[in-house]
Structure 1
Amino acid sequence: MAKAIEEAKVLIIVQNWGIEETEMTRPLRELKTAGAQVTLAAASMDPVETVQHDRYEGETVQPDTTYDSVKAADYDLLVVPGGTCNVDRLRVAPAAVKLAQDFAHAGKPIAAICHGPWLLVNAGLLPGKTSSSTRYIKADVENAGATQVDEEVHVCDANGWRLISSRKPDDLDAFVGAIKDTLAE
Structure 2
Amino acid sequence: MTGSITTAKVLIITQNWGIEETELTRPLRDLRKAGARVTLAAAEQAPVETLQHDRYEGERLDPDTTYDQVHAEDYDLLVVPGGTTNVDRLRVAEDPIALAQAFAKAGKPIAAICHGAWLLVNADLLGGKTLTSTRYIKRDVENAGGVQVNEPVHIDDAQGWRLITSRKPDDLDAFVGAIKDTLG
Whole-angstrom CA distance in 1 between matches of 2:144 and 2:178: 24
The corresponding residue for 1:157 is: 157
Deviation, 1:3, is 1.4
> Matched residue of 1:60: which SS?
strand
> Matched residue of 1:101: which SS?
helix
Whole-angstrom CA distance in 2 between matches of 1:13 and 1:91: 11
The corresponding residue for 2:168 is: 168
Q: Which amino acid aligns with 1:183?
A: L
Whole-angstrom CA distance in 1 between matches of 2:9 and 2:26: 16
* Structure 1: stretches of 5+ with no match in the other structure: none
Deviations 1:42-96 (A, max 9, x none): 0000100000000000000000000010000000000000000000000001000
Deviations 1:126-161 (A, max 9, x none): 000001000000000000000000000000000000
* Structure 2: stretches of 5+ with no match in the other structure: none
Q: Which amino acid aligns with 1:140?
A: D
Deviation, 1:170, is 0.0
**Could you state the TM-score of these two structures normalised by the residue count of structure 2?**
1.00
Whole-angstrom CA distance in 2 between matches of 1:136 and 1:47: 28
Deviation, 1:4, is 0.2
Following TM superposition, the consecutive aligned residue runs of length 4 or more in structure 1 with deviations greater than 6 angstroms are: none
Alignment of 1:28-177 (within 5 A): 28-177=28-177
The corresponding residue for 1:21 is: 21
Q: Which amino acid aligns with 2:46?
A: D
Deviations 1:95-123 (A, max 9, x none): 00000000000000000000000000000
Whole-angstrom CA distance in 1 between matches of 2:140 and 2:166: 15
Whole-angstrom CA distance in 1 between matches of 2:4 and 2:46: 32
> Matched residue of 1:170: which SS?
helix
**Could you state the TM-score of these two structures normalised by the residue count of structure 1?**
0.99
Whole-angstrom CA distance in 2 between matches of 1:2 and 1:143: 34
Whole-angstrom CA distance in 1 between matches of 2:57 and 2:125: 32
The corresponding residue for 2:179 is: 179
CA RMSD of aligned residues (A): 0.3
Whole-angstrom CA distance in 2 between matches of 1:93 and 1:68: 10
The corresponding residue for 2:12 is: 12
> Matched residue of 1:25: which SS?
helix
Deviation, 1:41, is 0.2
